[in-house]
Amino acid sequence: MSGNMSEGEGLGLLGHAVRIPESPDEAVLEFVPNPHPRTHYLVRFTAPEFTSLCPITGQPDFAHLVIDYVPRRKIVESKSLKLFLASFRNHGAFHEACTVGIARRLVKEMAPVWLRIGGYWYPRGGIPIDVFWQSGPPPEKLWIPEQGVAPYHGRG
């Protein structure tokens, strides 16, 4: 079941034991109707233990992801998002590909009013890489809190 769920349709992942998808392409994102479609409000998902693999070395990379979005007609079901994000743990891709790819897939399937992602990656080769993307300007008068992730500063 993909993003084309109508009201009353069952969710394939919710309430069932499921395995983590082998890859992001295999992962299924599920959606439910927005309970407040005429109201602009912010939804935030935080994934402080996101993991993927370096496509060159195969070593694990770790990030703290913050996904903010303003829903339109549907909202992403959190278990499906968790499984989608977990599917990256055996996926080789650079930080930029992971961060922007997650955001673009959500935008494509959910069609939110607005979405932004902050990927706060832990150092690779001694250099932390932070990646940020948003779908466009946020709606006027929307309260957008800071993402709350401090820049990496090492042990100091």
Please choose, from the candidates 119, 123, 143, the residue with its C-alpha nearest in 3D space to the C-alpha of residue 66: 119
Please choose, from the candidates 65, 41, 24, the residue with its C-alpha nearest in 3D space to the C-alpha of residue 114: 41
SS (H, E, C) 32-97: EECCCCCCCCCEEEEEEEEEEECCCCCCEEEEEEEEEEECCCEEECHHHHHHHHHHHHHCECCHHH
What type of residue sits at position 92?
A: G
Catalytic sites, residue numbers? 54, 61
